[in-house]
Structure 1
Amino acid sequence: MNIINARLRGQTSLYSIRVEQGVFTAIEPQTATLSPSASPSEIDAQGNLVCAPFVEPHIHLDAVLTAGQPKWNQSGTLFEGIERWSERKPQLTPEDIEQRVLKTVQLLVENGVQYIRTHVDVTDPSLTALKTIAGLKEKLSKVIELQIVAFPQEGICSFPNGKQLMEQAIEHGADVIGGIPHFEFTREYGVESMHWVVALAKQHGLLVDVHCDEIDDEASRFLEVLATAALEQDMGERVTASHTTAMHSYNNAYCSKLFRLLKKSKINFVSCPTESIHLQGRFDTYPKRRGVTRVKELREAGMNVCFAQDSIQDPWYTLGNGKLLRVLDAGLHICHMMGYRDLSTALDLITINGAKTLQVEQQYGIEEGKPANFIILQGCDDLAVIQQQGEVLYSVRQGEILVQRQPASLLRTTHLS
């Protein structure tokens, strides 16, 4: 396969890219625009951006496409969402889960995603969802790389046999250990759960991804506990704090102290801006806080932050369509990241930063010798892609085309001629 007339991130020249046996074998600047041949193995990028695939680092595939089942979340709050999910969870069957997961993965792949980390609720004594999704990993491996988080939606210490269920989840294929300390019954339970989660992951050589401080309570400070445990266990880059929305409400003096610990710990952060902007601030009158973690400040401090969708049409979020560019656009607005410096590297938030969070960066990127996994986006650089909300024109995995579409064109009319 040859790709000609390609733009690469951070470069001004056109490039030609050669792929052989599913691997990038040559990436070379072009001295001029090349004319396309009739060869089916050649892709003319037409000056559009070739970049590494999108990474979806935080989604709940077990709950996708269940909005309104059995009842709608009328308040739109996080806690009513948990109640609605607790009513839907007993209705789960392998057939139901598989049908929804495959439909959603198709949607994600069509929109340029090739790496997914899904949280799967394990506060279910039968572990139906986890077993079913783990059983789909091989089937899906040709189109995505899938990581499964054992996520204790109703707590570890606060849920009957919570620790045993987490350990069973590992036996059934979980890659990542999750937690939800702010939802535990007491602070003591939350602290205990964080130390236990990090120790368990280290024991089994797994990663950690915790729903951490997803609340507007400025006194919810489990992030410092998770970061300290990661630092003590030398697990930093293998640990992720998702949401951390309470950080939006922390005072600046505390945040200054906290950032020192966070940088030393080297943990990763996932923000879900479209979900957080609607779930948080629900107890406020006016002014209403945004309730999204300090993405810009974390990024400027040199910490790894990425964006995610979190939900697609489930009890917590009735919308969602698999388009990470939509999430990126919203996040840039919400987090006051509209300066040129932010916009010119914005795709990092849904590409390389997510790859680092998932610990797949060694095999990720447009480089000779790496697997030929890439997408072609409408636009010549990050800014142009965001401005246009460009389509994913191609998605290619190991040299095989998964998605191919033509950009929309306007027919010439007498009014526009």
Structure 2
Amino acid sequence: MMLIRNAKTLDGRLVNIKIENEKISCIGECKGDDEIIDAESKLVIPPYFNMHFHLDSAFTRVVNNSGTLWEGIKIWQELRDKLTEDEVIKNALTAVKLMVTYGTLWIRTHVDVTEKSFKLLRAIKKVKEQSKEIADVQITAFPQDGIFTDKGNDEVLRKAVEDKEVDNVGLIPHNEITREDGVRSVKLAFELAKEYDKDVDGHVDETDDPNSRYLEVVVRETLNNGWYNRVTAGHVTAMHSWDSAYRFRILPFIKKAGITIVPNPLINITLQGRLEGYPKRRGMAPIKEMMRAGVNVALGHDCIMDPWYPLGIGNMLQVLFMAIHIDQLTGFNELISSINLITFNGANAWHVKDYGIEVSNTANLLVTDADDVFDLIRFMNPPRFVIRRGKIVAKEGKYVLFNGKWEEVKRKP
């Protein structure tokens, strides 16, 4: 049994929270004397979701001189063949531990399966298993090079999706050679999703090109296949360049299909707009406009020190901080509700049913040092305690309970 005293909830209440048998058993004037944490009237909130990440490339630390998405892809195509399975495991485990210490307990990772030996997939499957006591990791089979760009990539994707440890079917239609191939790749992804009963989680329209409109194809296939609330579209940076009238027309259909859009602010603002002078576009899907249309929006960290991004510490508050600035979410209510972008909206996309601080829900909690959401975002500090299923799994922003032992988390491998 655990008792968290003097906890401030997101609605401003000051309560005690009692945890028994991995569940929240009481909220209010609860008592207990086993394991007691004094929250000191600071915020206690549900943990974070990282809805889009690449564990297989984390900490590869290579230089992308142009800073473009396309140079990053070229570098990665050469680098992935040189990486060993052990290197990928070591790097990915470091990333997972870092994210947990910063309060993220759900991580959806895209694994490049066009590396046809599947060493990357084998490595991340091992990381998923080794991390299961501290985080939930979902794997998306990601055809980085495209499904129809090389002969046999479609069968490689199918083979990956057959794996029971793979949770989602990936796609990247804007990386196909022709518009027709892009449409065909979306259709194949949904065929595989239905055949193996898996969600679809794609890189979609990750470009500045206003003519890249594969999201509409994803919407159509979602509706045709009845895959409501089972589809995620990552990046969709072209939406920033779309004509306003087109966005106005397509957004209600995205909502109808229950598609979650996942911007990746740290990386989107870095990679996009590289081929133009000034003024530069922001290159991120318009969060405020999507939320006004009722579209579910959740955020991803995407990368840490890899061919696409030289920085990153795995802190989803950094991601949120960037999103707020890019999309000008600085009104009072906008700031308060922005925390949903890394909490409840992610839970909705992940289909976590007992998420949040409520009696009978699983006891997943963050004990922070912030007085309110404003200070949480301003300072971006790690939680004092990260609690997963009623057990402290990380503390003080630098220690994690791994394989039953406390260890200090390394900033990089």
> How high is the TM-score relative to the length of structure 1?
0.92
Q: CA deviation at 1:262?
A: 1.2
Q: CA deviation at 1:158?
A: 1.2
Segments ≥4 residues shifted beyond 6 Å = none
Q: Distance in 2 between matches of 1:159 and 1:64?
A: 25
The equivalent position to 2:258 in structure 1, one of 261, 266, 270, is 266
Q: Distance in 1 between matches of 2:277 and 2:45?
A: 43
The equivalent position to 1:293 in structure 2, one of 266, 273, 285, is 285
Letter in 1 for 2:145: E
CA contact (8 A) 1:92 1:128 kept: no
- Residue 28 of structure 1 aligns with which residue? 28
**Helix, strand or coil for the counterpart of 1:363?**
coil
The equivalent position to 2:359 in structure 1, one of 368, 384, 397, is 368
Q: Does residue 156 of structure 2 align to residue 155 of structure 1? A: no
Matches within 5 A, 1:324-343: 324-343=316-335
CA contact (8 A) 1:14 1:29 kept: no
Q: Distance in 1 between matches of 2:219 and 2:72?
A: 28
**Runs of 5+ in structure 1 lacking a partner?**
408-417
**Runs of 5+ in structure 2 lacking a partner?**
399-413
The equivalent position to 1:397 in structure 2, one of 373, 383, 388, is 388
Q: CA deviation at 1:198?
A: 1.4
Q: Distance in 2 between matches of 1:84 and 1:67?
A: 11
- Residue 408 of structure 2 aligns with which residue? none
Q: Does residue 249 of structure 2 align to residue 249 of structure 1? A: no
Q: Distance in 2 between matches of 1:337 and 1:406?
A: 27
- Residue 7 of structure 2 aligns with which residue? 6
Q: Cα gap change, 1:223/1:406 in structure 2, threshold over 3 Å: closer, same or farther?
A: closer
Q: CA deviation at 1:131?
A: 1.6
Letter in 2 for 1:16: N
The equivalent position to 1:51 in structure 2, one of 45, 51, 59, is 45
Q: Distance in 2 between matches of 1:406 and 1:374?
A: 14
CA contact (8 A) 1:230 1:236 kept: yes
**Helix, strand or coil for the counterpart of 1:141?**
coil
**Helix, strand or coil for the counterpart of 2:393?**
strand
Q: Which stretch shows the higher mean deviation, 127-136 or 271-280?
A: 127-136
CA contact (8 A) 2:47 2:366 kept: yes
CA contact (8 A) 1:23 1:372 kept: yes
Q: What percentage of residue pairs aligned between the two structures are identical?
A: 39
CA contact (8 A) 1:227 1:236 kept: no
Q: Distance in 1 between matches of 2:162 and 2:90?
A: 24
Q: CA deviation at 1:40?
A: 6.1
Q: Distance in 1 between matches of 2:112 and 2:372?
A: 38
Q: 1:309-364 deviations in whole A, cap 9, x for unaligned? A: 1000000000011111111111100011111111011111111111112222x032
- Residue 275 of structure 2 aligns with which residue? 283
Q: Does residue 223 of structure 2 align to residue 205 of structure 1? A: no
Q: CA deviation at 1:238?
A: 0.6
Residue correspondences, number: 396
Q: 1:18-75 deviations in whole A, cap 9, x for unaligned? A: 1011111111268xxx9xx9x560011011111111111100000000122xxx2111
Q: Distance in 2 between matches of 1:260 and 1:389?
A: 34
- Residue 411 of structure 1 aligns with which residue? none
Q: Distance in 2 between matches of 1:113 and 1:263?
A: 26
Q: Which stretch shows the higher mean deviation, 269-278 or 159-168?
A: 159-168
- Residue 98 of structure 1 aligns with which residue? 89
- Residue 99 of structure 2 aligns with which residue? 108
CA contact (8 A) 1:8 1:381 kept: no
CA contact (8 A) 1:378 1:388 kept: no
Q: Which stretch shows the higher mean deviation, 19-28 or 135-144?
A: 135-144
Please provide the CA RMSD for this pair.
Answer: 1.6
